[in-house]
């Protein structure tokens, strides 16, 4: 079967991953649909529902099939889905005695829901592998920069000192947790679908229900308690888990974009892109593309969630809305994973620039530490009020905070100049940063050892 995909040759390489793209294109969907029909014939033959000779003919026809996605798509408009023309083509390739047994007892949604589960199951393997690579890059950076000082920023302003290692450890924990959830969805929630016309397998009588477990075993998917034609929690959980991964990767890309700004200059992409008009620029291209990719994901997640209200026993349009949506979700998340792994593997960290940026406010980001040291003598509120006053005075007069503190008798009554210098040393006010990095690294190692 010739692989086919609707991914753009012009824009696709910017936002996808070839390994994932191969598992979500037209060819992958057709392979999954045919896998369902093959498995159905096999298990029904084992159960004595379909003659062995007919099952062998069906399997042979499937193995030699080379369906054309364009032809199937054009003919699908008559029935609203591509399963109908696909099954008709299979029947046409069968001997007369086997024609009645292809697709026996199934409905189009059985094929498409199972195919969607298979497509997701297969596409998630390279995504999960890529996420493991992203986590390893976060781990490497956290180890290398465990004690590298950087300005902590809240509401986009300098807050208190932290370490770049702790920032990377935060990325690491988020990636590991999002990966765990996605892995659990893959292992526990991607199920076979087999319910027939209205979820009763009426065409098979009492023989139908046991086939669900056999189909699941044949295809390597979960066996559901009931047909889930109108219970879309499985796909909602998949979409949510993919959305969480995208959000985690978006946060990493956003941090890099902000830290790579010319005025900040704390990180850079090793082979950053150039501008068509400004040759001096070193653009953080991978961070930009990850940002662009992940921004498209929430809308797709919302489409899946908005499609959960399937009416009665089979929905009119809601499940149709999931097909391309789920493929695009997988494709975009796969592209974001690949882009983030490349971004982090090539990230250059300027520790000296990080240290210089700590001094941009003349010690103001250590104001909290000064307040803490004055609190035993002045009380918490009194210390905060005094330090806030001196911070305003330092800004107004163009002084460093150290100069303002050393010139104030109220401060010198309780702190010596040496103690002031000590309070304004950012390396002495990172709290449990190193311990938190170590905790994150240990947790990651435990996951790797499982």
Per the annotation, the verdict on 427 as an active-site residue is no
Q: How many residues does the chain have?
A: 450
Contact yes or no for 431/161 (Cβ under 8 A): no
Contact yes or no for 260/302 (Cβ under 8 A): no
Catalytic position from the list 296, 314, 353, 410: 314
How many CA atoms within 13 Å lie on the side-chain side of 174?
17
Residue 188's CB is within 10 A of a number of other CB atoms, namely: 11
* Residue that has been written with the tokens 């199934």 in this structure: 106
Helix (H, G, I), strand (E, B) or coil at 191: strand
Distance of CA 91 to the CA centre of its chain: 40
Burial letters 25-35, b for 16+ CB under 10 A, else e: bbbbbbbbbbb
Q: Interior CA angle at 438 toward 437 and 439, to 5°?
A: 90
Instruction: Using CB atoms within 10 Å of the CB of residue 292, give its burial: 0 to 12 exposed, 13 to 18 middle, 19+ buried.
Output: middle
Q: What are phi and psi of 152, to 5 degrees?
A: -75, 140
Contact yes or no for 332/297 (Cβ under 8 A): yes
Give dist(CA 290, CA 298) in Å, integer. Answer: 14
| Token representation of residue 219 | 């295809």
Catalytic position from the list 275, 416, 427, 432: 275
Give dist(CA 280, CA 272) in Å, integer. Answer: 11
Give dist(CA 206, CA 86) in Å, integer. Answer: 28
Instruction: Using CB atoms within 10 Å of the CB of residue 132, give its burial: 0 to 12 exposed, 13 to 18 middle, 19+ buried.
Output: middle
Tabulate helix, strand, coil % of the chain (nearest 5). 65, 5, 30
How many CA atoms within 13 Å lie on the side-chain side of 426?
24
* Of 180, 176, 111, nearest in space to 142 by CA: 176
Q: What are phi and psi of 267, to 5 degrees?
A: -140, 165
Characterise 205 by phi-psi region: left (phi > 0), alpha (psi -120 to 50), beta (else).
left
Contact yes or no for 328/120 (Cβ under 8 A): no
Give dist(CA 13, CA 285) in Å, integer. Answer: 13
Q: Interior CA angle at 239 toward 234 and 243, to 5°?
A: 150
Per the annotation, the verdict on 254 as an active-site residue is no
Active-site amino acid positions? 275, 314
């Amino acid at each position: 079967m010739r692989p086919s995909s609707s991914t753009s040759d012009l824009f696709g390489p910017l936002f996808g991953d070839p390994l994932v793209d191969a598992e979500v294109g037209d060819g992958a969907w057709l392979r999954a649909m045919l896998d369902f029909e093959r498995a159905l014939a096999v298990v029904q033959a084992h159960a004595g529902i379909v003659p062995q000779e007919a099952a062998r003919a069906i399997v042979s026809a499937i193995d030699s099939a080379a369906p054309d996605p364009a032809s199937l798509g054009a003919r699908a408009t008559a029935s609203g889905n591509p399963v109908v023309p696909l099954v008709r083509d299979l029947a046409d390739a069968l001997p007369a005695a086997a024609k009645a047994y292809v697709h026996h007892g199934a409905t189009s949604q059985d094929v498409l829901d199972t195919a969607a589960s298979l497509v997701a199951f297969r596409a998630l393997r390279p995504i999960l592998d890529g996420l493991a690579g992203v986590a390893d890059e976060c781990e490497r950076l956290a180890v290398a920069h465990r004690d590298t000082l950087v300005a902590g920023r809240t509401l986009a302003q300098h807050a208190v000192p932290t370490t770049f290692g702790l920032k990377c450890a935060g990325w690491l924990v988020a990636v590991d947790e999002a990966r765990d959830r996605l892995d659990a969805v893959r292992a526990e929630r991607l199920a076979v679908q087999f319910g027939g016309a209205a979820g009763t397998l009426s065409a098979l009588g009492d023989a139908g229900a046991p086939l669900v477990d056999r189909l699941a075993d044949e295809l390597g998917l979960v066996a559901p308690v009931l047909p889930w034609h109108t219970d879309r929690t499985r796909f909602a959980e998949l979409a949510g888990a993919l959305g969480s991964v995208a959000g985690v990767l978006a946060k990493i890309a956003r941090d890099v974009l902000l830290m790579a700004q010319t005025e900040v200059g704390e990180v850079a992409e090793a082979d950053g892109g150039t501008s068509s008009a400004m040759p001096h620029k070193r653009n953080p291209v991978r961070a930009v593309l990850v940002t662009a990719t992940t921004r498209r994901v929430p809308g797709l997640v919302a489409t899946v969630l908005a499609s959960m209200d399937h009416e009665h026993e089979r929905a009119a349009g809601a499940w149709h809305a999931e097909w391309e949506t789920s493929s695009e979700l997988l494709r975009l998340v796969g592209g974001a994973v690949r882009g983030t792994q490349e971004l982090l593997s090539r990230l250059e960290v300027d520790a000296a620039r990080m240290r210089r940026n700590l001094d941009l406010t003349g010690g103001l980001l250590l104001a909290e530490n000064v307040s803490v040291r004055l609190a035993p003598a002045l009380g918490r509120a009194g210390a905060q009020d005094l330090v806030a006053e001196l911070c305003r005075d330092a800004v107004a007069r163009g002084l460093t905070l150290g100069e303002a503190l050393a010139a104030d008798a109220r401060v010198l009554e309780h702190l010596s100049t040496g103690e002031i210098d000590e309070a304004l040393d950012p390396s002495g006010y990172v709290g449990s940063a190193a311990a938190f990095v170590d905790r994150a690294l240990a947790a990651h190692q435990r996951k790797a050892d499982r």
